[in-house]
Amino acid sequence: MITIDSLTKRYGAFTAVHDITFTARPGRVTGFLGPNGAGKSTSMRMMVGLTTPTAGSVTISGRRFADLPNPGREVGVMLDASAQHAGRTGREILTIAQQVIDIPARRVGEMLELVSLTESEADRRVGGYSLGMRQRLGIAAALIGDPQVLILDEPANGLDPAGIRWMRDLLRDYADHGGTVLLSSHLLTEVEIVADDIVMIGQGRLVCQGSKAELLQAAGTVVRATDLPALQRALATAGITASVTEDGALRTDAEPTAVGAAAYDGGVPLTELRTADSGGLEEMFLELTADTQRETHRERAAA
Amino acid sequence: MTATVSTVVDRVGDRRPDVTRIPLSRAVRVELRKMFDTRAGFWLIASIGITGLIATVATVAFAPDADLTYYTFAKAIGFPITVILPMVALLSITSEWSQRSGLTTFTYVPDRRLVIGAKTLTSIAVAVASMLFAFAIGAVGTVVGSTVAGVPEVWDVSLGHALTIVLGNLTCLLTGTMLGMLLRSSAGGMVTYFVITLLVPTMSGLLAASQQWFADLQPWVDLNYAQSFLFDGMQTGAEWAHIASTVAIWIVLPGILGLRLVMRSEVH
């Protein structure tokens, strides 16, 4: 379990992370979502003691990271897969980890197998690794101490589609065995496939948090009928405001039950009725981070 | 992709009663390994042996017969070592920042003092081993050199002198350690080291030659000047005081500042 309490980091007048509070729970994958520069990496560095917070605290299984006697045995960390001495081989990097945290040497081979790095790849220097290979090595280094908590910054970066699938299955499996996973991403689709809980930040501030199910529900309902104007009238009669989506359906914040009842009362046959899916969450992601997105500023400046 | 997490991650969620604090001895062992496990690191330390051998051969070949004494050999072999050892000490610290490996090093070992302490001890161990090598190869050089030249062997380095030479080398080495902590940059550290060891002594000498007040002050503030007492093996009580004063000014005080910076600095 990772408990983040009022975490704040200021650099002079600039506030990189502002008063963030959330919990990543065991048995669940928590997605830490936000646009580039939102403060995700700074927050994660504070969690593992690489950056000193201006205010607030982080505990891992009830203890501060710095107070963990041998952190590699309790928390697996991957903040930047490229941050390795380019002159060491992949195997050497894992061997150093294995020796520092004092675990059996066989773990090195087991981890290489787990992340599908071949013997010859493992004996090459990481300076020549692709980003995907570095990510795999980083995951191996995070898991080698058999920790209960994983903190991963953009773990899917540089992986090919098969690699992303593999990473997703691995993290799912890990959480299903009781582990706590906190992973960051600036890509919503990546997070929503694997995450149970989602924490969104923008410009260093917490924008929203909750279980994926809750957030999807909050994303509203999508409803479709052959006779769109009739459906619009039926919903209006029931006092439900809805907007027309790009593909000719209606989207509303009302519950599917209420929408279904309104259509029934208006005698409109529906062709589709469901909670808004990824598209809805994405809309919310863009909306919630709208005033924090660089693109928006640029568009406004251009206009 | 045959292995799954469940086959290798056995005890997720368990508390770890067997987890104990990382001892200094383990940190030293790992840092020693890290000093040799890259080509750059390996050749840097190998260069101590290589330059030692070259210096020995060159001394036999070029030194006048009368100078083929043990001290000549020790000095010739020791000179490259005084340059290389500080680089070993410096790079072992700065590479964590320059190569960014500190990101993992300091997450496995959050107590940065432990990491820096282990690196310093490791550098000292390499230094002592290098000095023993230098003294040994110097002895071989003396025997071979005097046999070749047909002159008697001259053993003109006392044990006490040998110890102060080691001490002198350690002050060079720790200058590298200090700069590593203070600057945390490989290139910046190396440049500053050569400024301190080459430029500062020259300027200090010029100033002392022209300004009487500085000539009196120089032994107390010029590290290079004070180090020469250690290498030349002539120490009086006053000279020990000069050594202590310059080491405090050039190594201890900036070293303490450097350690504070290491403790506070953000690792990216």
Bridge-based pairing state of the strands A197-202 and A29-33: parallel
pLDDT digits (tens, 9 = 90+) for A179-204: 999 999 988 888 888 999 999 998 89
Q: Which residues of B touch A52 (CB under 8 A)?
A: 264, 266
Q: Residue A301: what pLDDT?
A: 44
Q: Residue B19: what pLDDT?
A: 80
Asked if A70 lies within 8 A of B38 by C-beta distance, the reply is: no
Name which of B22, B99, B107 is nearest A77 (Cβ-Cβ): B107
Q: Residue B220: what pLDDT?
A: 92
The single-letter code of the amino acid at B151 is V
Q: Residue B2: what pLDDT?
A: 45
The residue among A197, A132, A187 whose CA lies nearest residue A159 is A132
Q: Residue A288: what pLDDT?
A: 61
Q: Which residues of A touch B102 (CB under 8 A)?
A: 83
Name which of B13, B19, B38 is nearest A87 (Cβ-Cβ): B38
Query: What CA dihedral angle connects B93, B95, B101 and B107, to 10 degrees?
Result: 10
pLDDT digits (tens, 9 = 90+) for A10-46: 999 999 999 999 999 999 999 999 888 889 999 999 9
Name which of A48, A69, A114 is nearest B19 (Cβ-Cβ): A69
Residue corresponding to tokens 């065995």: A177
Q: Which residues of A touch B14 (CB under 8 A)?
A: 148
Measured CA to CA, the distance from residue A58 to residue A302 in angstroms comes to 41
Name the residue ranges covered by the structural domains of chain B: 22-263
Q: Which residues of B touch A177 (CB under 8 A)?
A: 5-6, 9, 12-13
Q: Residue B101: what pLDDT?
A: 93
Q: Are A274 and A298 in contact (CB under 8 A)?
A: no
The residue among A22, A30, A21 whose CA lies nearest residue A175 is A30
DSSP code, position B262: H
Average pLDDT of adjacent 10-residue blocks, chain B of 268 residues: 49 58 95 93 93 92 88 90 94 94 95 96 95 92 90 89 92 96 96 94 92 91 90 84 94 97 91
- State whether the Cα torsion B180-B76-B56-B136 is positive or negative: negative
Substitution target in B11, B15, B18, B19 with the highest count of A β-carbons within 10 Å is B19
SS3 A226: coil
Spell out, as residue ranges, where chain A has pLDDT lower than 50: 296-303
Q: Residue B1: what pLDDT?
A: 43
Q: Residue B4: what pLDDT?
A: 53
